[in-house]
Chain A
Amino acid sequence: MTDQPILVGYDGTDAAQRAAEFAGQRAAAVGCAVHLVFVLEWSPYSFLSTKELEERHQRRTEELSRAEETLKPALDALAKLKVPVTSEVRYGHSGELICAIAKEKNASQIILGRKGGSALGARLLGSLPLTLVQASPVPVTVVP
């Protein structure tokens, strides 16, 4: 049993589900916990209209509860594997935030899924796996 959890970047897609399950198997084998991270893309420097300002707090509450809802299937799947699991939903830049949480939680590694877009698309639009491979403080595993 190690107290270094495996970090999983989760967004509710099939790829993320596969990553969570893969992480569950690894965690069961090593005897560690899994920590699921759901990042809602957000910049404090984006522009909102007056109406959006008024409704921001309301929307945020809704977004958070929707994210918790989305996390459920992964939490259930991991619970079935008898792996201790925790989760959190955070607002911010996904790459930066996952690296920061990896340090915060003293994670042993990061596991994520990939959607399998073209290489060109990833270069142009940016991709979370590529960002993390470049910037992560711990080993990164990408599940196809």
Chain B
Amino acid sequence: MFWKKTATASAVALMSGLLPHVAAAQEASFDEQINQAIAPISNVIAGTIFYSIPVAGTAFPLIVGWLVIAATIFTLYFGFVQFRKFGHAISLVKGDYSHPEDAGEVSHFQALATALSGTVGLGNIAGVAVAVSIGGPGATFWMILAGLLGMASKFTECTLGVKYRNEYPDGRVSGGPMYYLSKGLAEQGRPGLGKVLAILFSVCCIGGAIGGGNMFQANQAFQQVVNVTGGENSFLAGSGWLFGLVMAIIVGVVIIGGIKSIAKVTEKIVPLMAVIYVTAGMIIIISNISMVGDAFAQIFVGAFTGAGVAGGVVGALIQGFKRAAFSNEAGIGSAAIAHAAVRTKEPITEGYVALLEPFIDTVVICTMTALVITISGELSSGLTGVELTSAAFASAFTWFPLILALAVVLFAFSTMLSWSYYGLKGWTYLVGEGKGKEIVFKLFFCLCVIVGASMSLGPVIDFSDSMIFAMAIPNIIGLYFLMSVVRGEVTQYWDKIERGEIKKVK
């Protein structure tokens, strides 16, 4: 329960630091205090989760292998479902199989869009920049590969998310790994193991919500805002806590106050921002089309030679795999929570739809970011994170950092909202539902926004990574037990299609 210690430490830091700090107006020291209080704890957690073994002279974190091996096993077990059924997935999202009587219920498109809004975000902008700045352009190749394999993991977990969801008498629908782990394994005569895995998942899910779904987002949003307001000379530089406080209040107004209008506005603007980001990226790529061949050459050569990268090929591979997993969350289990609410009689259909998620997130958007960074030549600038992406886009459009700052803040905000929900689901699974219990979690979540914005990138990214990846341990153990259930679903679904029981309605 490291995150609880984190909370206590941060609360103490807040209490002891706030008053004298305001009086003395020494913003920098306050941020440093929070940083110093939390860094040692995050180092311990990261060290545990990222336990590494030396491979070819470089440290290989076992957890990264855990995710990629799982994705490979699911890919083989389901016979490359991500390629064979890609067309069927598109057809389902378009609503070709949706019954007209179900109008007004959650459609496949809506479940996918909501799940995507939780994953497309800073991972695609900042995470990719971290990967290529450490792992070189070659990291991109491994990122794409991990994205393609991850589609099979997402397929497996989201099918189970729908199959074992809870439908309450009042009409609410709620699902996710905690439910398929406990119910699915109980069906197989392993109720004890199921329960333990579900509890473990819920604990890690809370940590992931606090880390990758919150502190990392707040941190990177703040970096970018400082960046566009003048870098080190910015009036905000060193005042991460202030930015975090404002952000925490807005998040709190939405998740505690239940003010829907702010969430409504964000959800209209976020897709627009995604479109602007992708369009700008495409324009840069197309206007430098002559350099794209060279960029891909760098990506391929880098992937297999690891030239100029610490750790060589393995270094590039680890960075690529890590950031892909962090960005598309395949095998982590979070998306299964969002996808579970869809209206369908066949759980497998949501599995097919969900496999599009890593494709859009990693294979399309992340690759685009990596290409822009590689083409821009900013890799040698020594920048990392969102600043690198910002500099790369600025080399084509000088005004782009401003748009990016807005996009980053909005992406961060929408990701925080999604993860506050995922975290809350883990929390209520552990302590039970109830207004008071939910508010405790939500308040703590808001507090972490302030902490995240105040810390420097290193400890934040380590903590985020470790908690998000920790979710994959119980989740994937469960997926191994339950993948035969998913295969059963596949067989009976295609039998029904063959017999004509399930037909296209359009």
A pairs with B: yes
| Chain A contact residues, CB within 8 Å of chain B | 40, 42, 44-51, 53-61, 63-64, 90-92
Contact residues in A for B113 (Cβ distance below 8 Å): 45, 47-48
Q: A58 to B106: give the CA distance in the assembly, Å.
A: 11
Check A90 against B267 for contact (C-beta < 8 Å).
Answer: no
Query: Knowing A48-B106, A58-B171, A92-B103 touch, does A53 contact B111 (C-beta < 8 A)?
Result: yes
Digit string of B104-123 for contact with A (CB within 8 Å is 1, else 0)?
Answer: 11110111011001100000
Q: Which residues of A contact B173 (CB under 8 A)?
A: 53-54, 56-57
* A50 with B174: CB separation less than 8 A: no
Which A residue sits closest to B167, measured CB to CB?
A: A57
Closest partner residue, chain B, to A58 (CB atom):
B171
Say if the beta carbon of B341 comes within 8 Å of chain A. Answer: yes
Residues of B within 8 A of A56 (CB): 105-106, 173, 341, 343
Q: Which of B95, B114, B167 is most buried by chain A, counting CB atoms within 10 A of its CB?
A: B114
B170→A50 contact, CB < 8 A: no
B303-357 at interface with A (beta carbon < 8 Å) = 337-338, 341-343
Most buried by A among B103, B109, B267, B418: B103
Given A57-B343, A58-B171, verify A44-B418 contact (CB < 8 Å).
no
* B contacts with A, residue count (CB < 8 A): 33
Is A50 a contact partner of B271 (Cβ separation < 8 A)? no
Q: Please determine whether B338 and A50 come into contact, CB atoms closer than 8 angstroms.
A: yes
In the bound complex, CA of A51 to CA of B267 (Å): 13
Contact partner of A51 among B107, B170, B421, CB < 8 A?
B421
Contacts of B271 in A (CB 8 A): 47
A47-B267, A49-B114, A51-B421 given; A58·B170 CB < 8 A: yes
**Inside 8 A of A54's CB, which chain B residues have their CB?**
172-174, 341
Among residues of B, the one whose C-beta sits closest to the C-beta of A89 is B104
Let me know if B205 is at the binding interface, CB within 8 A. no
Q: Mark B140-173, 1 if CB is under 8 A from A, else 0.
A: 0000000000000000000000000001001111
A44-B110 contact in complex given A54-B173, A61-B171, A91-B104, C-beta closer than 8 Å: yes
Q: Which residue of B lies closest to A48 (CB)?
A: B110
Asked whether A47 lies within 8 Å of B171 as measured between CB atoms, the reply is: no
The answer for the CA separation of A51 and B255 in the assembled complex, in Å, is: 10
Complexed CA–CA distance, A57 and B341 (Å): 9
How many whole Å from A67's CB to the nearest CB in chain B? Answer: 11
Asked if A46 and B110 sit within 8 Å, CB to CB, the answer is: yes
In the complex formed, the residue of B with least CB distance to A63 is B104
| B263: interface (CB < 8 Å) | yes
Contacts of A51 in B (CB 8 A): 421
Q: Please indicate the chain B residues that have their CB under 8 angstroms from the CB of A57 in the complex.
A: 105-106, 167, 171-173, 343
In the complex, A92 Cα to B167 Cα: how many Å? 25
Beyond known contacts A53-B106, A56-B105, A57-B171: 5 more, CB 8 A cutoff: A47-B113, A50-B421, A53-B173, A53-B341, A61-B171
* 71-123 of chain B: CB within 8 A of chain A: 95, 98, 103-107, 109-111, 113-114, 117-118
Cβ-closest 9 pairs across A and B: A58-B171, A91-B104, A44-B107, A91-B103, A53-B341, A50-B421, A57-B171, A56-B106, A60-B104
Interface string of B167-185 (1 = CB under 8 A from A): 1001111100000000000
